[in-house]
Amino acid sequence: GTVFCSAPSTPAVVIKGLAEHKETLGAPLCPCRHYEDKVAEAKDGFWNCPCVPMRERHECHCMLFLKPEDDFAGTSQHITLEEVAELIANMD
């Protein structure tokens, strides 16, 4: 099993980015990477969440999926849409 980062703003930002990419690209492309061509990357699927490194090696660059023993691991596996919205709003 995995848990979210201990800083709730981290999963909130990642979830927001994934949702925006799902809406605009049709796939939950990892928002934590730079792409020369987001459309092509979304079609390729390698960096669509959960990305290949996460599926194969359980490595999440975004710190969305952490092992409980990881340094930044929190204790929660749950965040509500309301929490995401509030955390994002507090960043503006």
Q: Residue 80 burial (CB < 10 Å; 0-12/13-18/19+)?
A: exposed
Angle between helices 9-25 and 81-89 (to 10 degrees): 100
Active site residue 60: no
With contact defined as beta carbons under 8 Å apart, do 56 and 39 qualify? no
Q: Which of 30, 32, 51, 62 is an active site residue?
A: 32
Catalytic residues: 32
